Amino acid sequence: MTVLVFLDPSYPDGRIADATKPTLMATDQGATRGDGIFESLLAVGGAPRKMQAHLDRLGSSARALDLDIPEQETWRRAMATALAEFRQGVTADDASDEAVVKLIVTRGVEGSATPTAWVQVSTPPAAGKLQRETGIDVLLLDRGFDSGLAERAPWLLLGAKTLSYAVNMAALRYAHANGADDVIFTSSDGRVLEGPTSSVLLAQLEGEGQTQVKRLITPRLDSGILPGTSQGALFKAARAAGWELGYGPLEPADLFDADAVWLISSIRLLAPVNRIDGKEIGAADVRASLTAELSALMDGAE
């Protein structure tokens, strides 16, 4: 089931549209050029998770693209309308009560100066839940950029969440065609970057028992990757729980030497990586217990 609510000045709470009917102009630059931005977040029981972090990141993507987008309060109202409509429509046996909320803005129809903006709420894909439990196999794939390019070439929009995800989807198809579930991109200078729809995390354990040091590391946020709202929220919760935190730079060898590696994102949440390029990462029991510990920290983390 899918619900659409357009942000429209004539409707303060948003205008509900029929998702089974054409609703977008064929000349919309989101369709003709992929010129726009989006956010994907999870709602549980009708409540969007990490809403402020997602609205803030939508704002920074909009600034990177020079897009004049609606106020945060307008998005909050449209989300509330869309989630209420969605919850009315889902059947009682849809017990998980989870929904994927997308906030989408395009540059609008050709020749107009008004962006098109809408909220889409839909049922989460079943595969994500399964992968949280069973883990994933990942391929390292070259993204072809060096890790300093984002700073030198802001017009490439590397840190923005733009609608141009065709390359990310192609990388996932490549992984599926080659027996893997997902991808970790590397830079041309040999750094670990991110997944096509996720951030990369690794854990290092030192010592044992009471004095054990547990360290959580993610790639440098200025290396041309999207700063993950899930990684940010988990880091806050993990710090409070006594973990040490680090921000790269990371190389593939760091992944192979880690006690555990995860891909983390708003909808699938924490997916443990079983193998990278066919090589097992860490030990299965350590991976499982760290995944349980960090998943519990993520529950309710904003």
Cβ distance to ligand PLP smaller for residue 164 or 204:
164
Cβ distance to ligand PLP smaller for residue 109 or 172:
172
Cβ distance to ligand PLP smaller for residue 187 or 199:
199
Core vs surface per residue 132-164: b (16+ CB within 10 A) or e: beebbbbbbbebebebebbeeeeeeebbbbbbe
Which ranges of 104-207 would DSSP assign to H, the alpha helix? 126-134, 149-152, 166-177
The C-alpha atoms of residue 80 and residue 223 are separated, in whole angstroms, by: 35
Neighbouring C-beta atoms of residue 297, cutoff 10 Å: 21
Cβ distance to ligand PLP smaller for residue 119 or 226:
226
Smallest gap from Cβ 92 to ligand PLP, in A, equals 29
Please give the residue ranges that form the binding site for ligand PLP (CB under 6 A).
Answer: 40, 194, 197-199, 226, 228-231, 265-266
Smallest gap from Cβ 115 to ligand PLP, in A, equals 21
Nearest to 243 by CA among 202, 193, 287, 283: 202
Cβ distance to ligand PLP smaller for residue 108 or 262:
262
Smallest gap from Cβ 193 to ligand PLP, in A, equals 9
Smallest gap from Cβ 48 to ligand PLP, in A, equals 12
The residue count of the chain comes to 302
Smallest gap from Cβ 8 to ligand PLP, in A, equals 26
Cβ distance to ligand PLP smaller for residue 15 or 236:
236
User: What secondary structure letter does DSSP report for 71?
Assistant: P
Smallest gap from Cβ 212 to ligand PLP, in A, equals 27
Binning the chain into helix, strand and coil, the percentages to the nearest 5 are 35, 30, 35
The C-alpha atoms of residue 99 and residue 1 are separated, in whole angstroms, by: 10
The C-alpha atoms of residue 41 and residue 121 are separated, in whole angstroms, by: 10
